[in-house]
Structure 1
Amino acid sequence: MPWATSTYMMKLQLLVIETDYCWRKALLRMVLDPKATSLHSDYGSFDRPLGGVEGHERDVEAAVDGSSSGMAQSSDVYQRQPLLPGAPSKNKDKGWGGVSSSSEYYDDDEDDKIDGLGHIRHPNVPNGSGSDIVKLDIPAPLREEPRFPKEKWKTLLAFFFMVVNFILTTASLAMVHERVPDRATYGPLPDVVLDNLVSQDWALNVSEILIMIVSNSATVFIIFHKHRFIVFRRIFLLMGLLYMMRSVTMYVTVLPVASKTYYCSPKANNSSPLVITKRVLQLISGFGLSINGKHTYCGDYIYSGHTVVLVLSSLIIKEYSPRRCQPIHWLAGLMSLVGIIMVLIAHGHYTVDVLIAYYVTTRLWYIYHTLANNPYLKQHGPNNFLARLWWFPMFKYFEKNVGGTVPRQYDWPLPWPRRFLAKHPNRDS
C-alpha cells in the first residue's frame, strides 16, 4: 500500500516541521524577554501596532517566518528604557534579528558578583540581587507624643505667675489704704442693696468659711484629676490674671468704706517701702481673709475678691468633677451664692463690686476654655479676633501642647498605693 506509506511520511514530515516551528518560537520568546508580553508592562515602546499578547504573537510569528517587517516591529516593541538607569552599556553587538543583547537586558560576567547564596548582585544597585529586589532602609517610627503632657515646669511657672500677682494685689491694697477717704467725713456711697440691708459683721465670717469649704473642695477634685497638672496650670494662670486686673482697678479708683462698723487700721501717712512691705507680709500671712484678724486695711473694693474665689471655685467643680456628681455641682453653686449674699449683708463690698467680679470671672473662664478646647482658635488668623487679647501669647504658650478637651478622668495621686491597687500602674497622663 504505497499510498498509505506516502500519507504516513507526509504526516511525519508535517509533525517534524511543526515541532521545529514550536521550538524556534519558544526560543525566541525566551530571548526576547517575556516581560513584554504583559498587558501591564512597565516598559515603554516606540511603536506597538497591536497591544498586549496579540501584538507579541504577531511579532514572534513574523520572526519565525523570517519576515523583515515583522522583525522591525519586534525591534520596536522591545525597544525599552534601560533596566538600570545611568548604567552604561558595554556590549553594543546586536543579536537575534536586531534585538540588542547589551546590558539593558543582561549584565556582563565582569559586572556581576555572586554572593555566598548564589544570588547575582549588581554593583549599581545597593543590596540588589538577580531577582530585582531592592532593600530600602526604613527609619524607625517616631514615638507618638502624648495628647495631654504634664509639663510640670509650666505648671510651676504658672504658680509663680499667680503668686507674683497676689503680692502685687496686696501691695496695691497697702498703698490704697493711705488714700481711702476719711470715714468720718465721707460716708458710704449710695447703694440700692446695702441701703436696704442692716450691716451684720458675722456675715463676713460666714462668707469666708464658705470660701474655705468651696475652694478646698475644688482643690481636692483637681488633685484626683488624672490631668491635674494641666488643670492646676489653668487655674494658676486665671487666678494670676484676675489678681493682676484687680490690683489695677482698686488702685485707680478708691471708694469710701462701705461698712460703718468694719475695723480699719489707722493710717501711717507714710508710704515708704518698709511700711508697704510690712503690710504686704501681714496680708499674705492671713491669705487675704479677715476672719483671722490679718486683713485690717480698707479700700479693696473694685472688684470683690471674695466673689472671685467663690465663683471660680464653683466653675472648677462643675467643669472638672465627674458628671454624675450633679448634687455636688448644685451644692457648690448654692454655697457660692450664699457666700456672695453674706458679703453684701456684711457690707464688705458694694453691689457693683460683686457684679463686676462675677462678670469678669465668668467671661475670663469661658473665653479661656473656649480657646483651649478649639485647636483652630489657638492660632493667629484674620477671623480669630480672640487672638487679639492681650494675654493670648501667655495662653498660647501654656496650652499649645494640649491636644483637645481635657477628659474627665481620675486616679490616685500618691505613688505608693497606686503601685498595688491600680490596674495600669505604668500609664502616663
Structure 2
Amino acid sequence: MTRTQVNLVADMMVLDPKATSLHSDYGSFDRPLASGEGHEVDVEAAVDGSSSGMAQSSDVYQRQPLLPGAPTKGKDRWGSVGSNVDYYEDDNDKIDNISHVRHAGIQNGSGIVKLDIPAPLREEPRFPKEKWKTVLAFIFMVFNFILTTTSLAMLHERVPDRSVYGPLPDIILDNVEVQDWALSVSEVLIVIVSNSAMIFVIFHKHRFIVARRIFIVMGLLYMLRSITFYVTVLPMSSKTYYCSPKLNHTTPLIITKRVLQLISGFGLSINGKHTYCGDYIFSGHTVVLVLCYLIIKEYSPKRCLPIHWLAGIAAFVGVIMVLIAHCHYTVDVLIAYWVTTRLWYIYHTMANHTQLKQSGPSNLLSRLWWFPLFKYLEKNVGGNLPRQYDWPLPWPRRFLAKHPNRDS
C-alpha cells in the first residue's frame, strides 16, 4: 500500500464519525470484532476495492435511522446532519402525562410546546338515566312508607292513656302555651317547600338520578321511624290533639283500614286523616322540612341564594310550629334533624367519590347494611352531578326543533 492510499483511507475515517465506533445505537448485525480488527478490514477493503469488506463495515456503520438523528445514550439528544437544532425529552416536565418537547437552542428553558391530545370517546354516558333503578328506589320508598303507617296503626293501641299518664317533662313544652293552629301552619309550610323541591328535581337535567337518591334517603328514614317509635311508646305530648278511640283489639282488616286512611291523607293532620297517635321518636314533620331544604340547596342553581334562604327559614319556622303545637317532644325534633342531615351527607359524600363506592378495608362506610343497595344504584354515576337544567317534556322541544328538511 502506497503512502497516498494510506492517507486517503485515514481521511475517510476522520470524516466519518461512526467509523470509530464498533456498534451503532440500533445494534449490530455482525459478530463483534477484536480490537483493531475492524480498522484493518476497512483499510484493506478500501485499498483492494472489494465489495465484501464494505458490506461488513459501511452497511452497518453507515446505517441511518428512519427519523433524522439517532438518540444517543449519553445526553438523550437527537442530532441531525446539517442542522444546529437539538431536541430532547425531559422526563421531569410532564403535564397530564404528556411529555413536552423543548427547543434546545433556548437557554432559559422557556418555549414549551404543549401537545393537545383530545380526550378519548366514552363508550357510556357519564350520568346514565337508568330509569329502572329509579323505579326500584321508588318502590323501596313506598314499601317503607307503608311499613311506617302499618307500625303506627298497630302502635295506636299501645299508647298510654292520656288521662292517666301526662306528658313527659320537656323544657320547651313546659314553658310554651299550646297553640293548636301552629300545626296547620307547619303542614302548610311542608306543602310549599315539598312542591318547591319537586319543581327543582323535575327541571334538573339528571332528574332520574336525583329522584332515586331522594327516594332511597326517604325510604331509609321511613324505615328507621317505623322501628324507633314502635319499640318505645311515649305518652301523649299534647293534651288537646284529637286521637281516635282505642278498640283494645286489632285484626288484619282493622290495620289495613287504618293504613289506607293514613296513606290517603299523606300523613298530614290538615287532611283530617291522621287521627292515630304515638309516632313520636322521631318527628316526621321535621324530617320532611329538613329534607326539602337539603334538596333545594343541593340541586338548585347557586344563584338562587334567596330561595335557599327562604327554604331554610320555612323549614326552621315549620319545626318551631310543631313544638308550639305540642305535637312532638323536643328530643323528637333534635333526633329527626340529626338523623336526616347525617344520612343525607353520608349518602352524597359516598356518591360523589368513586373510591367510596368500592368495598375494602379502608372504606369503613362499606359496612353499612344498605351499602349493597347504594352501590348498585350509584356505581355508574361518574362524579358530582352538575347543576344543569332543561325542559322535562319532549313535545315542546320537538316542535321548536328545526326540521332537517326545513331551510329556515
Interval containing the TM-score (normalised by the shorter chain)? 0.7 to 0.9
Aligned mate of 1:74, from 34, 40, 56: 56
Q: Are 1:47 and 2:32 matched, yes or no?
A: yes
Q: Are 1:62 and 2:44 matched, yes or no?
A: yes
5 Å-filtered alignment, 1:95-110, equals none
5 Å-filtered alignment, 1:290-369, equals 290-369=269-348
Match of 1:387 in 2: 366
Tell me which amino acid in the other structure corresponds to 1:62. E
Q: Are 1:244 and 2:244 matched, yes or no?
A: no
Q: Where does structure 2 lack aligned partners over 5 or more consecutive residues?
A: 6-21, 61-119
Q: Are 1:253 and 2:238 matched, yes or no?
A: no
Q: Are 1:223 and 2:175 matched, yes or no?
A: no
2:221–2:340 Cα contact (<8 Å) kept: yes
TM-superposed deviation, 1:421: 4.5
Q: Are 1:203 and 2:182 matched, yes or no?
A: yes
TM-superposed deviation, 1:199: 1.1
1:352 counterpart SS class: helix
Match of 1:153 in 2: 132
TM-superposed deviation, 1:182: 0.6
Q: Where does structure 1 lack aligned partners over 5 or more consecutive residues?
A: 1-17, 19-36, 79-140
Q: Are 1:406 and 2:385 matched, yes or no?
A: yes
5 Å-filtered alignment, 1:88-237, equals 144-237=123-216
1:161–1:236 Cα contact (<8 Å) kept: yes
Q: Deviations over 1:65-88 (max 9, x none)?
A: 5599x859939987xxxxxxxxxx
Tell me which amino acid in the other structure corresponds to 2:196. S
Counterparts in 2 of 1:38 and 1:409: CA distance versus 1, 3 Å? farther
Counterparts in 2 of 1:326 and 1:143: CA distance versus 1, 3 Å? closer
Q: Deviations over 1:164-198 (max 9, x none)?
A: 00000000000100100011111111111011111
User: How many positions carry a matched residue from both structures?
Assistant: 328
1:47–1:76 Cα contact (<8 Å) kept: no
TM-superposed deviation, 1:63: 4.0
1:413 counterpart SS class: coil
Distance 2:202 2:121 in 1: 32
Distance 1:42 1:416 in 2: 69
Counterparts in 2 of 1:307 and 1:47: CA distance versus 1, 3 Å? same
TM-superposed deviation, 1:152: 0.4
Q: Are 1:417 and 2:400 matched, yes or no?
A: no
1:181–1:255 Cα contact (<8 Å) kept: yes
Aligned mate of 2:351, from 368, 372, 375: 372
Q: Deviations over 1:194-214 (max 9, x none)?
A: 111111111111100000000
Counterparts in 2 of 1:74 and 1:321: CA distance versus 1, 3 Å? same
TM-superposed deviation, 1:48: 5.0
Q: RMSD between aligned alpha carbons?
A: 3.3
Match of 2:67 in 1: none
Counterparts in 2 of 1:193 and 1:415: CA distance versus 1, 3 Å? same
Q: TM-score, normalised by structure 1?
A: 0.70
Counterparts in 2 of 1:50 and 1:145: CA distance versus 1, 3 Å? farther
Q: Deviations over 1:132-174 (max 9, x none)?
A: xxxxxxxxx9852111110000000000000000000000000
Distance 2:397 2:143 in 1: 35
Tell me which amino acid in the other structure corresponds to 1:45. D
Distance 1:420 1:61 in 2: 87
TM-superposed deviation, 1:62: 3.4
Q: Are 1:396 and 2:375 matched, yes or no?
A: yes
Q: Deviations over 1:88-130 (max 9, x none)?
A: xxxxxxxxxxxxxxxxxxxxxxxxxxxxxxxxxxxxxxxxxxx
Counterparts in 2 of 1:59 and 1:271: CA distance versus 1, 3 Å? farther
Tell me which amino acid in the other structure corresponds to 2:257. K
Match of 1:288 in 2: 267
Distance 1:260 1:229 in 2: 44
Tell me which amino acid in the other structure corresponds to 1:74. Q
Greater alpha carbon shift after TM alignment, 372-381 vs 165-174: 372-381
1:59–1:71 Cα contact (<8 Å) kept: yes
